[in-house]
Amino acid sequence: MTTDVVSPPARQRTRRRAGGLLPAPGWGYLMIAPAFVGLVAFYVWPFLTTFGKSFMDVPAFGPGTFTGVDNYTELLGDARFWQALRNSALYTAILLLGVPVAIVLAALIEQVGRGRALYRVLFFLPVVTLPVAISMVWRFIYNGDFGLLNYVLSLVGVPGQYWVADATFTIYAVGVVGIWMSLGINLIILGAGLQGIPQDLYEASALDGAGRVRQFFRITLPLLSPSVFLVTVLTVISALQMFDLIFVMLRSVNNTALADSKTIVYLFYEKAFVEFDQGYGAAIAIVLLMVIMAATLLQFRLQRRWVFYD
């Protein structure tokens, strides 16, 4: 409409702009300058620093010396590192068990009209509660002497355990909390996916006599698979980085179970910022990056077999 009144050359220019981008190098550089400076200073440079330090022996004070792959060979021979890797992998596997739970609950929430908002708020509550606070509450519930869980179990005749003080159970106990904490996020992402499924598919299949269970497996699950994939990828990435649950639930002066329950990031924190062995810490962080990349890459490979894109 506006183009009607402008001269032909101007119209041409306008059309080029309509293609999307305004050539304005000055403004462009000016506007990304803060982001560029910040990202280089706080992300790109630290990344390179960590990478460099992983090949160095860095004392608490003063410059480090280049030691090649010493940190990595030491890491590979370190039983505590393998233990931490196993713990993180186990924790991640447990959290993945929460994904089917989230799928079922998301589908059920989508089915109800009244009360849907209330359910979403209740399930989301742990997401907006301080993880540190959550850890403290669960630590109390898990207490071996007077915790609520042991009491409830005793009512049905199951013997109580020291859930966060016995390394046999710690990762499982923490994993349950992890599922409980992340359920709300998964429900929101899956809920958004469910809303994108065309309703007429359900109506048509209902006419054909399909029940809700059949609809769930034949329509909901395949069409939801991209969202399920997203949830799975995000779950694995964040589970491999778990730190604060262990830090708060297990750390106390006399909890010997902590030694066998450390995750990769906990080990990294301890090495780099408590013992100030930054070279070794950096090597742990680089290995973490490789583990996360490998896990994500594997999932993208596997998605072809089960994720359904239309």
Partner 1 sequence: MTDQILRSRRTDRAATGSKASRHGEWVIHLVLAAAALVMVAPFVWQLLTIFKSNREASQMPPTLLPDDPTTGAFATFFGSVPFWAQLTVSVSALVLRVIGQLTVSALAGYAFARLRFPGRRLLFGLFIAMLMVPSQLFLIGQFEIIRDFELLDTIPALAIPGMFSAFGIFLMRQAFMSIPAGFEEAARLDGAGPLRTFWYVMLPMARPTMAALAVLTSLYSWNDLLWPLIVTPRGDKRPITVGLAGLQGQFGTDYPTLMAGALVASLPLIIIFLVLQRQFFSGIASSGLKG
Choose which of 12, 41, 218, 306 interacts with partner 1 (CB under 8 A): 41
Determine if 119 is a binding residue for partner 1 (CB under 8 A): yes
Site residues for partner 1, 171-200, by CB under 8 A, read 180, 183, 185, 188-189, 191-192, 195, 199
Determine if 66 is a binding residue for partner 1 (CB under 8 A): no
CA-to-CA distance for 290 and 296, rounded, in angstroms? 10
CB 190 within 8 A of CB 106: yes
CB 285 within 8 A of CB 293: no
Task: Indicate the helix (H) or strand (E) that contains 105.
Answer: helix 79-111
Determine if 97 is a binding residue for partner 1 (CB under 8 A): no
Choose which of 69, 93, 125, 298 interacts with partner 1 (CB under 8 A): 125
CA-to-CA distance for 290 and 209, rounded, in angstroms? 49
Q: How far is the CB of 86 from partner 1 (least distance, A)?
A: 18
Q: How far is the CB of 224 from partner 1 (least distance, A)?
A: 14
Cβ-proximal residues to 57 (8 Å cutoff; 6+ apart), any chain? 64, 65, 67, 70, 71, 279
Q: How far is the CB of 237 from partner 1 (least distance, A)?
A: 7
Site residues for partner 1, 204-233, by CB under 8 A, read 212, 230-231
Q: How far is the CB of 303 from partner 1 (least distance, A)?
A: 15
How many residues sit close enough to partner 1 to count as binding (CB under 8 A)? 111
Coil, helix or strand at residue 258:
helix
CA-to-CA distance for 87 and 142, rounded, in angstroms? 19
Determine if 24 is a binding residue for partner 1 (CB under 8 A): yes
Among residues 179, 181, 178, 173, which one has the least CA distance to residue 129? 181
Determine if 69 is a binding residue for partner 1 (CB under 8 A): no
Query: Is the CB of 124 or the CB of 169 nearer to partner 1?
Result: 124
Q: How far is the CB of 180 from partner 1 (least distance, A)?
A: 7
Choose which of 12, 65, 73, 111 interacts with partner 1 (CB under 8 A): 111
Class of residue 226 by CB neighbours under 10 A (exposed 0-12, middle 13-18, buried 19+): middle
Choose which of 98, 126, 175, 178 interacts with partner 1 (CB under 8 A): 126
CB 242 within 8 A of CB 91: yes
CA-to-CA distance for 187 and 123, rounded, in angstroms? 8
Q: How far is the CB of 68 from partner 1 (least distance, A)?
A: 19
Choose which of 84, 87, 131, 229 interacts with partner 1 (CB under 8 A): 131
CA-to-CA distance for 51 and 133, rounded, in angstroms? 34
Determine if 34 is a binding residue for partner 1 (CB under 8 A): yes
Determine if 169 is a binding residue for partner 1 (CB under 8 A): no
